[in-house]
Amino acid sequence: MQLVCLGANNPSIIRYIRAKERLDRDFDFLGFIDNDERKWGKRFVGYPVFGGIDKVDALKNDDVFFCNLITRDCFTRYETTKSLIERAATLVNVIHPAIDLEMVEVGVGNYIQESVVLQPGVCLGNNSSITVGATVAHECVIGNSVFVAGGCHLSGKITIESGAFIGTGATILPRLTIGEWSMIGAGAVVTEAVPPYAVVVGNPGTVIKYVEPNTSLESSSPNLI
């Protein structure tokens, strides 16, 4: 497998590349694409940045796969992955090889960093990202284009709907639903269900406002995002 990643930002990807190379001699990391023109023609963690999203057309073939590493917000991740799909890029998961996926269902286009725990019964959709040290307990269901930041703890049987953003170190109690495109602040302790588009902060978590639904979202395209 040859891999190209979108987003030359976080050096943590090198841990995945090195671990994957040790385990799979057929794995070949080619480099990055990034829409920041200042990075074009340079190298990131030792690999080339080919250019922007338009470079997909020249790079794609039956042996080249793509994954989005952008995690700064769920809408940006949604939009940039949509751009990959529109250019007929074939998406693949980038999941650190040390993560135990026994009895875990995973979609496509997900980015999961090292030291994440996914307990049995977890179901992860497409185009989501879970970063270092997060814990997702048994039978949680995570939708599409979700971001779970480092050090979060999702207790058992939680449903995280598509587009939700879970900030660093947040804790969500069992059997709750976190609504689509909601935002949970860093360190929040969520004790009640969260409505769609709500912004929740504090301990106990409190809704402080609602964000405006983005009319450009294509809810009619559930296959990936």
What span, in angstroms and rounded, lies between the C-alpha atoms of 6 and 84? 9
Query: How many other C-beta atoms are found inside a 10 Å radius of the C-beta of residue 111?
Result: 27
For the chain, the maximum distance between any two Cα atoms, rounded to a whole number of angstroms, is 50
Tell me which amino acid residue 134 is. A
In angstroms, what CA-CA distances link 95 with 5, 107, 215?
13, 12, 31
Average pLDDT across the chain, whole number: 95
For residue range 51-108, list pLDDT tens digits in order: 999 999 999 999 999 999 999 899 999 999 999 999 999 999 999 999 999 999 999 9
Between CA 168 and CA 132, with CA 69 as vertex, the angle to 5 degrees is: 35
* Residue spans of the chain under pLDDT 50: 220-222
pLDDT of residue 216: 64
What span, in angstroms and rounded, lies between the C-alpha atoms of 199 and 126? 23
What span, in angstroms and rounded, lies between the C-alpha atoms of 192 and 190? 6
pLDDT of residue 212: 87
Same fold, 2-92 and 94-210: no
Q: The domain 94-210: what is its CATH number? A: 2.160.10.10
Q: The domain 2-92: what is its CATH number? A: 3.40.50.20
Kindly list the domain boundaries of the chain, sorted by start residue. Answer: 2-92, 94-210
Per the confidence metrics, is the pTM higher than 0.75? yes
What span, in angstroms and rounded, lies between the C-alpha atoms of 146 and 55? 26
In angstroms, what CA-CA distances link 214 with 18, 81, 146, 149, 160?
38, 16, 16, 22, 19
